[in-house]
Amino acid sequence: MGSFPVETFQPLDPDVFVKESQAVVDFIANYYRDIERYPVRSQVEPGYLSKRVPDQAPIFPQPVHTILDDIRDDIFPGLTHWQSPNFYAYFQANASTAGFLGEMLCSGLNIVGFNWIASPVATELESIVMDWMGKMLKLPSSFLFSGGQGGGGVLHGSTCEAVVCTLAAARDSALSKIGSDGITKLVVYASDQTHSTVQKASKLVGIPPSNFRAIPTSAASDYALTPDSVRSSMEADIAKGLVPLYLCATIGTTAIGAVDPLLDLGKVANEYGVWFHIDAAYAGSSGICPEFRHYFDGVELADSFSLNPHKWFLTNMDCCCLWVKSPSSLVDSLCSNPEYLRNKASDAKMVVDYKDWQIALSRRFRAMKLWVVIRRYGMANLMEHIRSDVAMAKHFERLVAMDRRFEVVVPRKFALVCFRLKPRFQGDDASKLNRRLLEAVNSSGQAFMTRAVVAGMFVLRFAIGATLTEMRHVEATWKLIQAKADGLLLNGSSDKSFFL
């Protein structure tokens, strides 16, 4: 056979793996220790990085410490620090030690569990952990594998993927009845508060953009979708010869945390035979606490339900739970059976092959991460995590209410407070003032909030939930907001530092 040159490049040598991994672990731990030093929202100008890094890949290897030095010097200035305790923007993306451990295990084992045989435990642990989650949320047994009614759950990377897959399933089920030409007749319903992902997904699966209905909401219903408005929208479409396909309701809308009335909407959806999806991306995690569970009433009428543990459940990016009552409709729409993946267990239909429940073939071992998070913290701590954030939000809400220059714009339900500086005179819509206040806070680097527009009103969003946020951060940020408001209200027009 002859001898073969010894391989000198060993990119998975265990000793090197340990040494270099420890350096990175220490680096990240120091990042968490120092995180309050960095401006929360990056203050760089577009294009800053190309001036700092080479425009070509290196030919020769570079040591880890050089790479880490460059991350500190060149990458950190361009980071918006989502793990900062003073990050109140968008919705938080919870990192945690257990989530990180789970990601390490997922990445270290680095398996690709597209079907059962490709790593049986990836499928089986996912099914088990989805049932755990479902039970924690008191989902009806029709959504659980253990319910024995054909339902079950799957982990996706994002809500958009969950919506795309359920929309495709609903679409193909409808087209099997009305023929493939009917795709231009299908209509998708949501509210003007529903996440933009539903509109995007609807277009993505080939439904004409003109067939997406963003039904208006108003303060009268706390910006929730009303069953009557859905019903009349569907009736109008049917009268035009269109076919209602899919209704998305939300527990905790993105802009202001509104909750749609699931029970009443579910009845309308069931009556018209449309697929009923519930998006609880942000607020869904609260369902493990009994005091929030009432928002989920009516979930039993849904065809599918999704939430993102990567937001408020201490699970590092990315992780989206999707439960469906009829996974076979997903499989009918999404399955592929190329020869090179065939195997006895799949051919005999003895197993779940998650590739047929999602967009891609390849899939990471995300169940490991969620399983480690749940076990390492236990339901008691996870409930405490939700409750402490809500308690801080309640406190912040009280602080806002105590300052008569400000108002809380919509009732807080979870840990998102929407507020603004009140109009100062007749006809003032206060938008300009609040834009300035937002930019004054964000450009200070001391905190980062984002915005919403509700019924024409420019609103500041204060989303509490970053893992490191404590009461002292919330209180200090409120003082910062007050101080910036003082500056604006005293000599607003001379402040040139803002951008609108």
**Rg over CA atoms, the chain:** 25
Show the tokens assigned to 259: 């909750």
User: Minimal distance in Å, beta carbon 302 to its own copies?
Assistant: 21
User: Minimal distance in Å, beta carbon 295 to its own copies?
Assistant: 20
Q: Of the two residues 264 and 439, which places its CB atom closer to its own copies in the complex?
A: 439
User: Minimal distance in Å, beta carbon 270 to its own copies?
Assistant: 25
Q: Of the two residues 212 and 301, which places its CB atom closer to its own copies in the complex?
A: 212
Ordered DSSP codes for 276-314? EEEE-TTGGGGGGSGGGGGGGTTGGG-SEEEE-HHHHSS
What gap in Å lies between CA 177 and CA 273, rounded to an integer? 13
Q: Of the two residues 167 and 299, which places its CB atom closer to its own copies in the complex?
A: 167
Q: Of the two residues 213 and 451, which places its CB atom closer to its own copies in the complex?
A: 451
Phi and psi angles of residue 279, each rounded to the nearest 5 degrees, phi first: -100, 110
Kind plus residue range of the DSSP H or E element containing 324: strand 320-324
Q: Of the two residues 182 and 261, which places its CB atom closer to its own copies in the complex?
A: 182
Q: What is the dihedral of CA 18, 23, 28, 29, to 10 degrees?
A: 90
User: Minimal distance in Å, beta carbon 336 to its own copies?
Assistant: 4
Q: Of the two residues 122 and 230, which places its CB atom closer to its own copies in the complex?
A: 122
Strand ranges across the sheet with 450-454: 406-408, 416-421, 457-463, 450-454
User: Minimal distance in Å, beta carbon 372 to its own copies?
Assistant: 6
User: Minimal distance in Å, beta carbon 265 to its own copies?
Assistant: 22
User: Minimal distance in Å, beta carbon 435 to its own copies?
Assistant: 10
User: Minimal distance in Å, beta carbon 268 to its own copies?
Assistant: 25
What gap in Å lies between CA 296 and CA 300, rounded to an integer? 9
Q: Of the two residues 209 and 425, which places its CB atom closer to its own copies in the complex?
A: 209
Sign of CA dihedral 346, 352, 358, 361: negative
Q: Of the two residues 344 and 404, which places its CB atom closer to its own copies in the complex?
A: 344
Residues 32-49: b if buried by 16+ CB within 10 A, e if exposed: eeebeebbbbbeeeeeee
User: Minimal distance in Å, beta carbon 466 to its own copies?
Assistant: 9
What gap in Å lies between CA 328 and CA 287, rounded to an integer? 26
User: Minimal distance in Å, beta carbon 288 to its own copies?
Assistant: 9
What is the bridge-based pairing of β-strands 416-421 and 457-463?
Answer: antiparallel
User: Minimal distance in Å, beta carbon 267 to its own copies?
Assistant: 29
Q: Of the two residues 99 and 153, which places its CB atom closer to its own copies in the complex?
A: 99
Long-range contacts of 197-201 (CB under 8 A, 24+ apart): 197/158, 197/159, 197/160, 197/163, 198/163, 198/248, 198/279, 200/160, 201/160, 201/163, 201/164, 201/167
User: Minimal distance in Å, beta carbon 352 to its own copies?
Assistant: 9
Q: What are the helix (H) ranges across 182-315?
A: 196-204, 227-239, 262-272, 309-312
Calculate the alpha carbon distances from 331 to 139, 168, 234, 359 in Å. Answer: 22, 10, 28, 11
Q: Of the two residues 169 and 249, which places its CB atom closer to its own copies in the complex?
A: 169
Q: What is the dihedral of CA 436, 441, 445, 450, to 10 degrees?
A: -80
Q: Of the two residues 490 and 500, which places its CB atom closer to its own copies in the complex?
A: 500
Show the tokens assigned to 13: 């040598």
Q: Of the two residues 301 and 469, which places its CB atom closer to its own copies in the complex?
A: 469
Residue among 310, 347, 377 at smallest CA distance from 161: 310
CB-based contact 257:390 (threshold 8 Å)? no
Q: Of the two residues 263 and 378, which places its CB atom closer to its own copies in the complex?
A: 378
Ordered DSSP codes for 87-149? B-SSS-----HHHHHHHHHHHHH----SSGGG-HHHHHHHHHHHHHHHHHTT--GGGSGGGTS
User: Minimal distance in Å, beta carbon 304 to its own copies?
Assistant: 17
Peptide bond just before 26 cis, omega within 30 deg: no
